[in-house]
């Protein structure tokens, strides 16, 4: 198990770190945008691009190649990874109706990580505490999946805020 934290450095950027070491950043061009950039610690850049009707599908791309995509479903956000041509599916969901805790589960309903979202009223920003399982820590592209999970949570919060 590992612990990560993602702090909003302003209303558009998040820094993900573990044990005081930066893992990567999630950067939005503007507030409440579905389009974002992921920058890993090795300075590799990825784009999160909305696709489809009403931007209902978001794709993680590098050099025009889709590595991951997600969309809102009835049970939560369905994440489909396409790393190295192997398709895997995950579900990101709230743990309760009035909860601010999200969990990522695999197709066997095994929890891989839990995220606590903490809204800071003074700055109107979110900070996130993430706890991962040892199985998740074995994932080859765990940093990309972590940063995309943060984007999914921001997407969910934006989506829910716009319909309420």
Structure confidence by residue, pLDDT tens digits, 110-159: 999 999 988 765 556 778 999 999 999 999 999 999 999 999 998 887 76
Mean pLDDT of 81-96: 93
Report the predicted TM-score, pTM, of the whole model to 2 decimal places.
0.91
CB atoms within 10 A of CB 24: 23
Domain boundaries, the chain: 2-163
Q: Give me the pLDDT at residue 52, please.
A: 75
Please check whether residue 61 is in contact with residue 67, taking contact to mean a CB–CB distance below 8 angstroms: yes
Residue 88: pLDDT band (50, 70, 90) is very high
**If you count them, how many residues does the chain have?**
164
- The pLDDT, as a whole number, for residue 96 is 79
- Position 74 scores a pLDDT of 87
Using 50, 70 and 90 to split pLDDT, how confident is the model at 92? very high
Residues 90, 112, 54: CA angle, nearest 5 degrees = 35
Contact present, 43 and 55 (Cβ < 8 Å): no
Whether the CA torsion 36, 132, 6, 162 is positive or negative: it is positive
Pick the CATH number of 2-163 from 3.30.360.10, 3.40.50.10470, 3.40.605.10, 2.40.160.200: 2.40.160.200
Using alpha carbons, select from 26, 29, 8 the residue that is nearest to residue 148: 26
Q: Rounded distance, CA 117 to CA 101, Å?
A: 6
Residue with tokens 């993680």: 60
Would the pLDDT of 83 be above 90?
A: yes
Residue with tokens 């579900």: 91
> Residue 161 — pLDDT band, cuts 50, 70, 90?
low
Residue 164 predicted with pLDDT over 60: no
- pLDDT by residue (tens digit) across 9-50? 787 899 999 999 999 999 998 766 789 999 999 999 999 999
> What is the predicted pLDDT for the residue at 116?
94
The token duo for 24 is 């990567």
């Amino acid at each position: 198990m590992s612990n990560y934290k993602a702090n909003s450095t302003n209303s558009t950027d998040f820094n993900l770190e573990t044990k005081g070491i930066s893992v990567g950043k999630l950067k939005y061009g503007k507030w409440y945008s579905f389009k974002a950039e992921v920058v890993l610690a090795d300075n590799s850049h990825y784009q999160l691009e909305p696709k489809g009707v009403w931007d209902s599908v978001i794709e993680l791309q590098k050099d025009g190649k889709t590595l991951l995509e997600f969309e809102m479903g009835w049970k939560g956000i369905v994440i489909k990874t396409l790393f190295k041509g192997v398709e895997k599916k995950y579900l990101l969901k709230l743990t309760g109706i009035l909860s601010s805790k999200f969990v990522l589960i695999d197709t066997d309903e095994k929890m891989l990580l839990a995220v606590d979202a903490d809204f800071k009223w003074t700055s109107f920003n979110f900070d996130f505490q993430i706890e991962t399982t040892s199985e998740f820590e074995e994932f080859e592209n765990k940093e990309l999946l972590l940063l995309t999970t943060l984007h999914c949570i921001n997407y969910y919060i934006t989506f829910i805020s716009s319909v309420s």
